[in-house]
C-alpha cells in the first residue's frame, strides 16, 4: 500500500502559510510591505482586538489591474521578480509572491484596488484560498486589503496565539518598524478605532523614533551619520547613560527593511565598550544604506534576516558611525522634533519628578523646535561604577539619593537574621578558631563529620580562599551568593516577601516589555513586585521583592520582562527567581565583609551549595596532593 500522499495545492499553501504567517503581526507586516512596494505615500493600518479577527491596510500606491487583482493570490505570483537574475539585487520588500497566497489560504480576504489609469477598480473576495467573487468597484487609486478571521481553518495554529493584547501590541510593533524603516511614507495605525501612532512622512525618523522608543529614550538619542566604503549609516544611538537591561530597543534597517542582525548588533555594542556597564545594552535605530547587490535578503522565510556580502565593511561602517556618536564632540543630547511630535510630547503624561520646570523658559532657536532632555537622572551605572555598594552597611549613604528615588532600605538583608551586622562590622580578616567551629558544616547525625572550614581571605575581590582539612577551596563569591539567594527564594513558598520603595520608581518599558509585564501581572505580584500602569506606556514600581537591592529595580525588571517574552511559561517563575537572586547577590569587585564571606564558605563547605542557578560551579578545589605534585614534593 502506498504511504506517500501528494498534498493538494491547498494543503501545501496552508503549510507554507505557517512559515510566512505566524501571527497576525505577520499579516500586518506583509500587507504594509506590499503597500511600500506599490509606491504608497500614505498607509493606514487598522486592527481590531489582536488582529486575528480584523486587519485592514489601505494605501495610495499604484493599485492593480483587474486581472492582477485575481492573480495576486496565486502562489509565486509577483510583479517584482522576473527571473533568477533579479534575485541578485532585490530593491523591493517582497519578491517571492508568497505572502498573499499564504495569508488568503488561512483567512477571509477582501481586496479593493484601482490603478490610476483605469476607469474603475476591482473588488475580490477570497476565502481559504478560493476566489469567491470578483466585481468592478469604485475606489480612488490605491489598494485596500481586509483580512478577517485569520487561522479560522487551522485551529492548531489558533491555539498558539497569545492574548489579544499581546498579539495586538505585536501588530503595532511591526507596523511601527515598517513606518520607521521608511520615514518618507506617512503611516497611521489604529487599533480598535484608537490611534496608536502616526508618522508624518516628512522623511525624518524622529517622530517614529519617539513612538517606538518612548519619550525618555528618544530624548537621549545621539544622532549617527557615517559612511565607509559605500555603506552609509545614519540614525540614532542612545547615550551611554541610558543603557538598557535587554536588546528590545535595538532596531536595524537595511535599505528600509527592518532586520535582525548579529553583526550590526555586535558593531554597535562594541562602540560602547567601556562606557556601558556589562549587562547593559544600548538602544539604537540605525539605517544602513548600501547597494542592493551587496545584501542577500533571500535567506529567511520572513525576510527579517539578511546576509551581507562584505560583512567586515558593514561592521566597520556601523561601528565607526556609532563610535563617533558615542565619543563625538560633547554635543548636548538634543534632537529635532517635528511640530506634531512636539505637541504629542508636551501632552504626554510625565511622572511628576520628570516634568521639566525649565522647558518653557528655554530659548527656542528660530525655525527649529529643539528639545533638550529635561530629565537628567544620573546614569544608573554610576552607583556600581564609582562606589561599590556595601551590601552589609545599613548606614551607608546611597550615592545618588539626593537626585533619584531611594528606597526605604538601601541594602539587602542578604544574610539570615541572626547574622545581620552591627552598624560597623569590625574587619576580621582571620576569624577566630571558635568562629570557624561555630559555622562549621552541620552534618546529618550518623554521617562522618567533614573537617572544619577556615576562611583564609579573598583574592581579586572575586574569589574566596578557604581551607577544609587537606583541601583548598576557591569560591566565586557572586555565584555562591546567587545560589544562596535562589534557594532561599525557592524555599519561601508562593508569596515572596516584598519591600515598599520609599519613592516609587518610574519605568518606561518597551511596548513588548509592557505587554509581557501586563500579561504576567499576577506572577509578578506573587514575586513581590507591585507595579502600576501610569498613563499609556509608563509604569510606576511601588514595591520590589525584599531580597532585591532597590537600586537594581529597573535592571531587574528589564531582564525579567525579556525572560517573560522569550521564555517558556512554565519556567517563568524560576527564571524570575534567578534574576532576583542574581541582582540581589554581591558582585565581583565589591568590598565584602569577611563574615559574609564566611557564610558563603560554610554553605559551600557543607555541600549545600554546588552550582549557581545557571549551572556554573561555585567552587573549585585543590587538594594537598595536587599542590604537592605541583611543587614536586611528591611525584
Partner from Mg ion, ligand ADP, none contacting 121, C-beta within 5 to 8 A by type: none
Rounded CA gap, 559 and 451, in Å?
Answer: 41
Work out whether 38 is an interface residue with ligand ADP (CB under 6 A): yes
Partner from ligand ADP, Mg ion, none contacting 61, C-beta within 5 to 8 A by type: ligand ADP
Phi-psi region of 443 (alpha: psi -120 to 50; beta: other; left: phi over 0): beta
Q: Is 589 helix (H, G, I), strand (E, B) or coil?
A: coil
Cβ closest to ligand ADP, residue 28 vs residue 544? 28
Cβ closest to Mg ion, residue 89 vs residue 533? 89
Residue 460: exposure state from Cβ atoms within 10 A (0-12, 13-18, ≥19): exposed
Rounded CA gap, 621 and 468, in Å?
Answer: 10
CB of 91 to ligand ADP, least distance (A): 12
Work out whether 77 is an interface residue with ligand ADP (CB under 6 A): yes
| Sole window of 98-106, 210-218, 254-262, 346-354 interacting with Mg ion (rule: CB under 5 A) | 98-106
Which residue's C-alpha cell is 524570575? Answer: 576
Residues 60, 66, 70, 71, Cα dihedral to 10°: -90
Which letter does DSSP use for residue 410 in this model?
A: S
Which letter does DSSP use for residue 305 in this model?
A: B
Rounded CA gap, 50 and 46, in Å?
Answer: 11
Q: Among the residues of 182-308, which ranges form H helices?
A: 206-213, 215-219, 262-271
CB 564 within 8 A of CB 520: yes
Among 17, 35, 288, 582, binds ligand ADP (CB under 6 A): 35
Work out whether 94 is an interface residue with Mg ion (CB under 5 A): yes
Work out whether 256 is an interface residue with Mg ion (CB under 5 A): no
List the beta bridge partners of residue 42: 186
Residues 10-49 that bind Mg ion (CB under 5 A): 34
CB of 94 to Mg ion, least distance (A): 3
Rounded CA gap, 163 and 520, in Å?
Answer: 12
Partner from ligand ADP, Mg ion, none contacting 35, C-beta within 5 to 8 A by type: ligand ADP
Could you tell me how many residues of this chain bind ligand ADP (CB under 6 A)?
23
Rounded CA gap, 449 and 463, in Å?
Answer: 26
* 175: phi then psi, degrees, rounded to nearest 5: -60, -40
Residues 138-197 that bind ligand ADP (CB under 6 A): 143
CB 177 within 8 A of CB 258: yes
Partner from ligand ADP, Mg ion, none contacting 520, C-beta within 5 to 8 A by type: none
Nearest to 187, CA basis, from 10, 393, 41: 41
Which letter does DSSP use for residue 35 in this model?
A: H
Partner from ligand ADP, Mg ion, none contacting 562, C-beta within 5 to 8 A by type: none
Rounded CA gap, 247 and 243, in Å?
Answer: 10
| Sole window of 94-102, 403-411, 529-537, 580-588 interacting with Mg ion (rule: CB under 5 A) | 94-102
Work out whether 30 is an interface residue with ligand ADP (CB under 6 A): yes
Work out whether 79 is an interface residue with ligand ADP (CB under 6 A): yes
Partner from ligand ADP, Mg ion, none contacting 370, C-beta within 5 to 8 A by type: none
Instruction: Give me the sheet containing 530-534, strands edge to edge.
Output: 498-507, 538-545, 530-534
Work out whether 121 is an interface residue with ligand ADP (CB under 6 A): no
Work out whether 78 is an interface residue with ligand ADP (CB under 6 A): yes
Work out whether 61 is an interface residue with Mg ion (CB under 5 A): no
Work out whether 131 is an interface residue with ligand ADP (CB under 6 A): no
Residues 80-99 that bind ligand ADP (CB under 6 A): 80, 94-99
CB of 158 to ligand ADP, least distance (A): 22
Work out whether 324 is an interface residue with ligand ADP (CB under 6 A): no
CB 619 within 8 A of CB 601: no
Among 45, 52, 72, 541, binds ligand ADP (CB under 6 A): 72
Rounded CA gap, 53 and 45, in Å?
Answer: 14
Work out whether 251 is an interface residue with ligand ADP (CB under 6 A): no
CB of 128 to ligand ADP, least distance (A): 16
Site residues for ligand ADP per CB under 6 A: 30, 34-35, 37-38, 59, 61-64, 72, 77-80, 94-100, 143
Site residues for Mg ion per CB under 5 A: 34, 94, 99
Amino acid at each position: 500500500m502506498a504511504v506517500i500522499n501528494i498534498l493538494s495545492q491547498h494543503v501545501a499553501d496552508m503549510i507554507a502559510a505557517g512559515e510566512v504567517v505566524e501571527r497576525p503581526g505577520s499579516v500586518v507586516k506583509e500587507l504594509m510591505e506590499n503597500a511600500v512596494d506599490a509606491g504608497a505615500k500614505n498607509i493606514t493600518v487598522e486592527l481590531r482586538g489582536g488582529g486575528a479577527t480584523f486587519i485592514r491596510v489601505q494605501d495610495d500606491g499604484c493599485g492593480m489591474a483587474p486581472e492582477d487583482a485575481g492573480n495576486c493570490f496565486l502562489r509565486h505570483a509577483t510583479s517584482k521578480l522576473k527571473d533568477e537574475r533579479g534575485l541578485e539585487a532585490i530593491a523591493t520588500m517582497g519578491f517571492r509572491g508568497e505572502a498573499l497566497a499564504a495569508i488568503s489560504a488561512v483567512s477571509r480576504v477582501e481586496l479593493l484596488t484601482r490603478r490610476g489609469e483605469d476607469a474603475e477598480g476591482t473588488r475580490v473576495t477570497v476565502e481559504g484560498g478560493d476566489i469567491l467573487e470578483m466585481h468592478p468597484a469604485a475606489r480612488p487609486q490605491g489598494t485596500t486589503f481586509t483580512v478577517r478571521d485569520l487561522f479560522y481553518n487551522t485551529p492548531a495554529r489558533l491555539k498558539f496565539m497569545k492574548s489579544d493584547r499581546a498579539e495586538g501590541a505585536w501588530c503595532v510593533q511591526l507596523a511601527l518598524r515598517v513606518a520607521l524603516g521608511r520615514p518618507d511614507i506617512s503611516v497611521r495605525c489604529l487599533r480598535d478605532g484608537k490611534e496608536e501612532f502616526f508618522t508624518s512622512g516628512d522623511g525624518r525618523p524622529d517622530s517614529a523614533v519617539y513612538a517606538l522608543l518612548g519619550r525618555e529614550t528618544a530624548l537621549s538619542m545621539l544622532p549617527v551619520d557615517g559612511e565607509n566604503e559605500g555603506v552609509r549609516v545614519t540614525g540614532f544611538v542612545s547615550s551611554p547613560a541610558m543603557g538598557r537591561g535587554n536588546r528590545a530597543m535595538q532596531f536595524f534597517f537595511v535599505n528600509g527593511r527592518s532586520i535582525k542582525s548579529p553583526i550590526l548588533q555586535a558593531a554597535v555594542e562594541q562602540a560602547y565598550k567601556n562606557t556601558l556597564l556589562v549587562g547593559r545594552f544600548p538602544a539604537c535605530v540605525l539605517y544602513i544604506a548600501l547597494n542592493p547587490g551587496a545584501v542577500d535578503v533571500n535567506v529567511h522565510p520572513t525576510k527579517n534576516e539578511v546576509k551581507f556580502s562584505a560583512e567586515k565593511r558593514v561592521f566597520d561602517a556601523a561601528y565607526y558611525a556609532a563610535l563617533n556618536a558615542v565619543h563625538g564632540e560633547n554635543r548636548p543630547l538634543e534632537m529635532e522634533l517635528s511640530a506634531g511630535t512636539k505637541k504629542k510630547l508636551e501632552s504626554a503624561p510625565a511622572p511628576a519628578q520628570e516634568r521639566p520646570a525649565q522647558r518653557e523658559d528655554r530659548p527656542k532657536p528660530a525655525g527649529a523646535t529643539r528639545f533638550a532632555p529635561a530629565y537628567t537622572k544620573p546614569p544608573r551605572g554610576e552607583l556600581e561604577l564609582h562606589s561599590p555598594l556595601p551590601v552589609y552597611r545599613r548606614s551607608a549613604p546611597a550615592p545618588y539619593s539626593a537626585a533619584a528615588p531611594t528606597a526605604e532600605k538601601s541594602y539587602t538583608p542578604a544574610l539570615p537574621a541572626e547574622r545581620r551586622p552591627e552598624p560597623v562590622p569590625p574587619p576580621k580578616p582571620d576569624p577566630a578558631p571558635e568562629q570557624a567551629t561555630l559555622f562549621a558544616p552541620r552534618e546529618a547525625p550518623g554521617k562522618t563529620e567533614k573537617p572544619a572550614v577556615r576562611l583564609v581571605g579573598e583574592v581579586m575581590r572575586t574569589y574566596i580562599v578557604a581551607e577544609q582539612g587537606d583541601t583548598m577551596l576557591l569560591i566565586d563569591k557572586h555565584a555562591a551568593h546567587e545560589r544562596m539567594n535562589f534557594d532561599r527564594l525557592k524555599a519561601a513558598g508562593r508569596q515572596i516577601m516584598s519591600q515598599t520603595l520609599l519613592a516609587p520608581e518610574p519605568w518606561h518599558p518597551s511596548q513588548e516589555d509592557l505587554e509581557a509585564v501586563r500579561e504576567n501581572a499576577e506572577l509578578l505580584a506573587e514575586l513581590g513586585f507591585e507595579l502600576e500602569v501610569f498613563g499609556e506606556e509608563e509604569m510606576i514600581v511601588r514595591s520590589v521583592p525584599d531580597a532585591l537591592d532597590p537600586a537594581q529595580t529597573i535592571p531587574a525588571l528589564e531582564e525579567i520582562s525579556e525572560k517573560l517574552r522569550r521564555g517558556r511559561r512554565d519556567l517563568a517563575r524560576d527564571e524570575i527567581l534567578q534574576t532576583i537572586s542574581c541582582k540581589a547577590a554581591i558582585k565581583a569587585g565589591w568590598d565584602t565583609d569577611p563574615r559574609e564571606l564566611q557564610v558563603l564558605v560554610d554553605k559551600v563547605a557543607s555541600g549545600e551549595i554546588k552550582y549557581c542557578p545557571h549551572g556554573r560551579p561555585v567552587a573549585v578545589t585543590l587538594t594537598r596532593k595536587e599542590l604537592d605534585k605541583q611543587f614536586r614534593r611528591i611525584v
